[in-house]
Structure 1
Amino acid sequence: MTEYYRPIPVFDVARPSEAFPLAGGWTWFDRVELMRRGAPPRIVPARDLPKEVLMRLSEPRGALPGLGVQHPRIMGILNVTPDSFSDGGLHDAPAAALAHAREMAKEADIIDIGGESTRPGAKDVPVDLEIHRTAPVIAAMRATGISTPVSIDTRKASVAQAALDAGADMVNDVSGLGFDAGLAPLVAERGVPLCIMHSVATPATMQDDPTYEDVLLDVYDFLSERVEIAVSAGIPRQWILVDPGIGFGKTLAHNLALLARISLFHGLGCPILLGVSRKRMIGSIGRAAEARERAPGSVAAALAAVAQGTQILRVHDVAQTAQALRLFMAVNSGIVPEEKK
Structure 2
Amino acid sequence: MRRNAVVAERPGRLGDVLALRRLTVPEPPGAGEVDVRMLAATLNPSDVVTVSGAYGSRTTFPFTPGFEGVGVIERVGSGVPDRAIGRRVLPIGSAGNWQEVKRADHSWCVPVPDDITDTMACFAYINPLTALLMVRRHCSGPVRNVAITAATSTIAGHLAELLALRGVRPIGLTRGTPGRTVADPRLWATVIDTGESAWPERFREAASEEGVDVVLDCVGGAQGAVLMRELSPGGMLVHYGLLSGEPLPPECFAGRAGRRVEMFRLRDTVHTYARERLPELFSPVFERLRAGRLRSRVVEELPLTRLPEALRGGSGGGPGKTLISCTR
The TM-score with structure 2 as length reference comes to: 0.30
* Bigger share in strand: 2
More helix by proportion, 1 or 2? 1
Q: TM-score, normalised by structure 1?
A: 0.29
